[in-house]
Amino acid sequence: DGGITQSPKYLFRKEGQNVTLSCEQNLNHDAMYWYRQDPGQGLRLIYYSQIVNDFQKGDIAEGYSVSREKKESFPLTVTSAQKNPTAFYLCASSISRHRVYEQYFGPGTRLTVT
Amino acid sequence: ILNVEQSPQSLHVQEGDSTNFTCSFPSSNFYALHWYRWETAKSPEALFVMTLNGDEKKKGRISATLNTKEGYSYLYIKGSQPEDSATYLCAFPAFSGGYNKLIFGAGTRLAVHP
C-alpha cells in the first residue's frame, strides 16, 4: 500500500537536545511538507520541498532544519534553538507543487520536550 | 496575512442528526479550497478539492458547497453517524514563492453521540 510513514509516534526528549523526526513516502510524490499543530490552532507550515535537494522555509521555520537527499524521505530536525518544541508534527506530500492537488498526510509524531 | 476561519470550533450532535459547519477564506485571488477529515489517531485525509464558484461535491452522506465571491464553503453531513466523529479541516492554497502552500483553519471538531 502506498502512503506516508512517520516515526516514532511518540518522542520524548530533554531540553537542549536535537531530535530528528522521520518521514518517508512511497507515493512517488515530488512535494513534501512538514506541519506543526498546537492546541486550538490550524496546521502551520514549517518547511516544504518541491524536489530532491531543494527545500524552502515555511511560516515557522526558526529552530528547525530539514534535508531532502532522496525523493521519498524528508526528515525534520528539531534543534535546541526551537523555543517551544513540544507539539504534534505532521508530514505530508503531494503529487506536485500545483496548488489544486490534495496533500496526503502521515500519522504524525507527538514530541514532548521536558 | 491570509486567514482561514472555521466555525463552530466544536459540535456535539446525536446520531441521525444532520449538521453543517462553515469555512471562511479570502475571496480575492481564489484558486481552490480543500476539505480534510481527521479522525483521532489517524492521518488527515482529503475529502474534497473545490475550484468553481457554486460547486457542490458529495461523498456518501457528506457534501460541500462553495461560494468564492463571498469567501465561504459549507460542509454538510446528513444523518450523522458515530463514525463521522472527527475534526474537519479546510485549507486555502496560497501560491507563494512558486510553491503550493496550504493555509489551514483550526478545524471543527464533530462528536456524534449514539
Q: Does A32 have pLDDT greater than 90?
A: yes
d(CA A45, CA A61): 8
Q: Which helix (H) or strand (E) holds A49?
A: strand A44-49
d(CA A43, CA A34): 9
Mean pLDDT of the B83-102 span: 84
In B15-55 the beta strands, taken as DSSP E runs, fall at 19-24, 33-38, 45-50
Residue in chain B lying closest to A94 (CA): B100
Q: What is the model's pLDDT at position A39?
A: 84
Q: What is the model's pLDDT at position B27?
A: 84
Q: In this structure, what C-alpha cell is assigned to residue B92?
A: 486555502
> Across the interface, do B104 and A43 touch by the CB < 8 Å criterion?
yes
Q: Which residues of chain B make contact with A91, given a CB cutoff of 8 A?
A: none
Is some CB atom of chain B closer than 8 A to the CB atom of A48? Answer: yes
**pLDDT by residue (tens digit) across B21-67?**
999 998 887 888 999 999 988 899 999 999 999 999 999 999 999 99
Q: Coil, helix or strand for B112?
A: strand
Look-up of cell digits 532544519: A65
Q: What is the model's pLDDT at position B91?
A: 93
Look-up of cell digits 520536550: A113
Residue in chain B lying closest to A36 (CA): B104
d(CA A30, CA B45): 18
Q: What is the model's pLDDT at position A29?
A: 93
